[in-house]
Amino acid sequence: MLGGERENIIISACVALMLWTAGRDILAIILALLIWFTGLITSKIVARIDPWATKVFIKSLGYQDFYPAREKINTPNAVIKRKRNF
């Protein structure tokens, strides 16, 4: 959408439109257009570098910061198969 990622474009358009309609003066219009064009250009640059950047970032928010290196209580013991030398 407009050369950028769809989610980023829609979010920047909604923020700019909310600012424009809430302010209703020349300063609000200028800020809304500035936010819109900045979001559009940034989204195009990010989409050229990595088209999945936003989706990967949103998915990464669900992961834990640290995963401890220990077994859980109910983890079954590992079975190790050994070769026999005859």
DSSP labels for 55-79? HHHHHHTTS-S---S---TTPPPPP
Give residue 81's pLDDT.
72
Q: How far is CA 42 from CA 35, 60, 68, 85, in A?
A: 10, 20, 37, 64
pLDDT confidence of residue 1: 66
Q: How many residues does the chain have?
A: 86
State the pTM of this model. Answer: 0.62
Measured from the Cβ of residue 59, the count of other Cβ atoms closer than 10 Å reads 10
Contact (Cβ atoms closer than 8 angstroms) between residue 6 and residue 40? no
User: According to the model, what pLDDT value does residue 8 have?
Assistant: 86
What are the residue ranges in the chain where pLDDT is below 70? 1, 71-72, 75-76, 78-80, 84-86
